[in-house]
Each structure stands twice: as structure tokens, then as C-alpha cells.
Amino acid sequence: MKRFLAILTVLLTLFLTAGCGESPATPRAETNGAKTIRIAYLPITHALPLFATKELQTADGPVKIELIKYGSWPELMDALNTGKVDGASVLAELAVKAKEQGIDVKAAALGHHDGNALIVSNDIQKPTDLKGKVFAIPHKQSSHKLLLDQLLEKNGLSESDLTIVEMSPPEMPAALATKQIAGYCVAEPFGAKSVILGNGHELIPAQELWPDSICCLLVFNGEFLAANRELTRQFVQQYKQAGIYLTEHPEAQKTIALKYLKAKDKILDLSLEWISYDNLSIPRPAYDELITRMETSHLLTKAPNYEDFVDTSLYE
């Protein structure tokens, strides 16, 4: 009986650990000389260079790309931090905060330029009209929160003058249409959706509040990167070329986006007018500005320095 129990214990242990996944440092399965790299994303236009990288990969390329869709930023960050995925397109503030908390993540490239819209209901004509209203953001740790803070400060308001709620981006257009909220700031294409449907308008271009803002980043699990540096570098180079391709072939942007996003043609047309993908390197001045804004908004206590957080050798 004791021997039977011992064998049973071993079998249960093997069963329970079988689904726990590989260590992030473990090289991925190799087929025809190409290793797989797993990248997490949310279905937004900010991740278009990632989609383009996948679409432009060749059968004989050195990297096989597996894109894994998530429904929320916390879920995505948990997958990145625990090594369920190797990298991700993620909000910069979430990645910086993870680094501050001692989680080993490394940033390699920007996700995009601009593409964040401050959308309000049609009865809101100026920022001060938001006083006493409800305004939605996707996450406290986001450029959308920082843009809202800048808007309020510039117009003599503070967060105490309105109610700020966190809301899933796909829910925001409907919430605006039904008057649950008076406005929102979010990644595309959810801002363009309210405009095209006639339920809202852009209050002010985000770039007027924060020129050259950093929003989404391509980041990697640090343990995976350390063990698979050349594989990661090859992927980032393909990502870099995808950004160049999107810039030189604007007609391809919507074609690729439609494969990954549930958005109508007119919504994507407007959404893509608000965003660009040229030169996706992470400039030090832009990173420093991000850190300053995060500290001012009390989202950060001890900022990781540029060299610790950004691996420029992957993109250059």
C-alpha cells in the first residue's frame, strides 16, 4: 500500500505540473531552422506593427511568430511577467511600473506614434464642461490617464472635479452613447467609433497636450531575452521593417488591421488617420518625459533609468 501511495503521489505531481509551461528561458520549438517566439497583444490599432510583422514573415525566416490575444491589460501583463509569453505590445506605464516593482522586463521599440483620442459627447464643447461628469480611461497606469491629467491641469481643473472610472475599451463607445459617461480617452479604434457613429467628437488632439508621447511599447520577458538574445533581435529587426513597410504602404494598413480588429472600414479609416508607425525606436528624451509625467501624476516612485529599461541594441 505504501508503495502504491508513493507511485500515486509521483503521478499526481507529474499531472499537476504538466500544464505549468516552460521556463521563459527555454528556447521554443524549432521547425526548419526557425524558432517560435510568442507575443501577446490586445486587438487595437496600436499593435498594428506586430500584426504586420506576423503577416510579412516568410516560411524560410529565422523566427516563427505566434501572436496570442488577450482581453485586458492585467491579464496580458500577468502572462508576460510569468513567462507564459515571451513578449508583448503593452502600455508603457504598465511595463515601467513592473520594472520599478522588480519584474524583469525589457523594452525594445515603440508601438506607434499618436493614436490616442480624447472623445466626449456632443454636448461637451470645452474641457471645463467636463466638471461634475464621468470620464473613462482603460487603466490608471496609462498614457490616457496622463493625457487626462494634462487636459485638466491646462484648464484649471483637477481629478476631484470629475469622476474617473476604469473601463474596458470596447465598452466605452456604448457607454458614451447611452450617457453613462461624458467622455473617454483610449487607444484606437474605439475613439474613432464614437465619432463615425455620431455619438461624440474629438475634444482636442492628444498631440497638442503631449507631443511625441510614448504610449505602447514592444517589451520582452527579461529571462527569455537573456537566454534567447539573437532570436529576439531577429524578431525586433522584422518588427522594425514592418513599421517601415506600414509607413511606405499606407494602403496596406487597413488590409492588415481588418484581419485582427473587429472594426468597420470607415472607423478604421479615421483611426488610421490619427496614428503613424515611422521610426519605432525609443528616444531617451521621450522616455524621460514619460517618467516625469508618471511621477507628477503619482504613478511612479523610483523610476528605472533608460539603460536598465530600454535595450537599444535590439532595434539598432
Q: What angle do CA 134, 137, 141 make, to 5 degrees?
A: 135
Q: Do the bridges between strand 87-91 and strand 34-41 make them parallel or antiparallel, or are there none, so unpaired?
A: parallel
Task: Encode the chain (316 residues) as per-residue pLDDT tens digits.
Answer: 444 444 444 333 333 333 344 556 655 556 555 699 999 999 999 999 999 999 999 988 889 999 999 999 999 999 999 999 999 999 999 999 999 999 999 999 999 999 999 999 999 999 999 999 999 999 999 999 999 999 999 999 999 999 999 999 999 999 999 999 999 999 999 999 999 999 999 999 999 999 989 999 999 999 999 999 999 999 999 999 999 999 999 999 999 999 999 899 999 999 999 999 999 999 999 999 999 999 999 999 999 999 999 999 999 9
Q: Which of 186, 106, 176 is nearest to 139 (CA)?
A: 186
**In the chain, where the domains are located:** 30-113+214-314, 116-209
DSSP letters of the chain?
A: -HHHHHHHHHHHHHHHHHTS---TTSPPPEETTEEEEEEEE-SSGGGHHHHHHHHH--TTSSEEEEEEE-SSHHHHHHHHHTTSSSEEEEEHHHHHHHHHTT--EEEEEE--EE-EEEEEETT--SGGGGTT-EEEES-SSSHHHHHHHHHHHHTT--GGGSEEEE--GGGHHHHHHTTS-SEEEEETTHHHHHHHTTSEEEEEEHHHHSTT---EEEEEEHHHHHHSHHHHHHHHHHHHHHHHHHHH-HHHHHHHHHHH----HHHHHHHHHTEE-S-----HHHHHHHHHHHHHTTS-SSPPPHHHHB-GGGT-
- Select the CATH number that applies to the domain covering 116-209 from these four: 3.40.190.10, 3.60.15.10, 3.40.50.300, 3.30.540.10: 3.40.190.10
Task: Indicate if 116-209 has the same CATH topology as 30-113+214-314.
Answer: yes
pLDDT at 3: 46
Domain 30-113+214-314 top-level CATH class: alpha beta
pTM of the model: 0.88
